[in-house]
Chain A
């Protein structure tokens, strides 16, 4: 197991063991096909989630569709 890193997810800081964005999505029990991820202000295309490494201090936004008019 790697050393946990400190990241900010949806405005909340947390410790994570994840080494890639895909790891993080799984760690949060989310379904990758139902979310979109912004990594340090840049969209992380779904096809690259397995490859994008996470580093200490990273800021992530994970969003999905909700009801709206």
Chain B
């Protein structure tokens, strides 16, 4: 049992990780990555555009969905022909699952299809908001962790729920910034910051980011990474936006580690007052 003292609040301007960690990436469940941007593979015009966007984003992890194969036309091109799972880590998701049972079943199949234990769990509560159902999410996290999975878990932006997920075996906490596919940006910076401060596993904002400044904002809050799909796929130029997101994440991370200046209520001149003519 963790006690509150473990998660004592700290000043927002104090980086969680030492500066030297900035250059060598982050780690989740024993896997090390240098890119802090995870991108989805849905909604693209075609596989070629998707692959080009992944390349431009610099992402080393992509999320993928698990679906029935096309039996009527098995010659159709498939994602794996364009994005090589030996070079880019496939993170199978449970998008579209509304119960723990469905999500667990999906990930058991995913593990068999790909051989990966690292998975993204999301159990949705309703179609209109795609808001996570935390009771089912917690249940599924526990079962999956007991079966040897390493679940990275999409969740509400609630520091208590985040702690419960960690206790249940989540290897990463992935709170929403805003509803999936909304592009509304991070709605509650306070709760994201509280989750970051309390977590001992990586925290990634998953969903809601619409543009590069919002990706930077997530990183400035101290998140270990950002996961997005629609912001890139639905940009007018997805490849250019993928690049923008890469830089946004890097800029935000650097700014977080640098430690922002304090806020003043009034002006403070940058040029010396002495020697004025």
Give the B-binding residues of A (Cβ under 8 A). Answer: 9-12, 28-30, 34-38, 43-46, 61-69
Asked if B271 is an interface residue, CB under 8 A from chain A, the answer is no
Whether the pair B113, A34 counts as a contact (CB closer than 8 A) is: yes
Q: Would you give 8 A-B contacts (Cβ < 8 Å), ordered by A?
A: A36-B66, A36-B109, A36-B113, A61-B109, A67-B43, A68-B63, A69-B93, A69-B229
B155 → chain A closest CB, angstroms: 16
B147 → chain A closest CB, angstroms: 11
Q: Which residues on A sit within 8 Å (CB–CB) of B109? A: 36, 38, 43, 61, 63
Count residues of chain B with CB under 8 A from any CB of chain A: 38
Q: Which residues on B sit within 8 Å (CB–CB) of A43? A: 108-109, 112
Contact of B68 among A34, A45, A62, A69 (CB under 8 A): A62
Q: Which residues on A sit within 8 Å (CB–CB) of B110? A: 36, 65
Give the A-binding residues of B (Cβ under 8 A). Answer: 40-44, 47, 50, 63-69, 71, 74-75, 78-80, 85, 90, 92-93, 95, 105, 108-114, 180-181, 228-230
Contact of B65 among A29, A30, A38, A67 (CB under 8 A): A67
Tell me the nearest residue of chain B to A66, going by C-beta: B67
A28 → chain B closest CB, angstroms: 6
Contacts A34-B78, A63-B109; A69 near B69 (Cβ below 8 A): no
Whether the pair B71, A67 counts as a contact (CB closer than 8 A) is: no
Interface of B is mostly: mixed
Whether the pair B71, A28 counts as a contact (CB closer than 8 A) is: yes
Whether the pair B180, A64 counts as a contact (CB closer than 8 A) is: no
| Residue of A36, A45, A67 contacting most chain B CB atoms (<10 Å) | A67
Q: Which residues on A sit within 8 Å (CB–CB) of B92? A: 65
Q: Which residues on B sit within 8 Å (CB–CB) of A61? A: 68, 109
Told that A36-B112, A65-B64, A65-B110 touch, could you supply 16 new A-B pairs with CB distance under 8 A?
Answer: A28-B69, A28-B74, A36-B110, A43-B112, A63-B68, A63-B69, A65-B65, A65-B80, A65-B92, A66-B64, A67-B42, A67-B44, A67-B47, A68-B64, A69-B40, A69-B63
- Give CA–CA (A30, B40) in the complex, Å: 25
Q: Which residues on B sit within 8 Å (CB–CB) of A36? A: 66, 109-113
Whether the pair B40, A64 counts as a contact (CB closer than 8 A) is: no
Q: Which residues on A sit within 8 Å (CB–CB) of B230? A: 69
Q: Which residues on B sit within 8 Å (CB–CB) of A37? A: 112
Contacts A63-B66, A65-B65, A65-B92; A30 near B42 (Cβ below 8 A): no
Tell me the nearest residue of chain B to A9, going by C-beta: B71
Contacts A36-B113, A67-B50, A69-B95; A10 near B75 (Cβ below 8 A): no
- Give CA–CA (A46, B112) in the complex, Å: 7
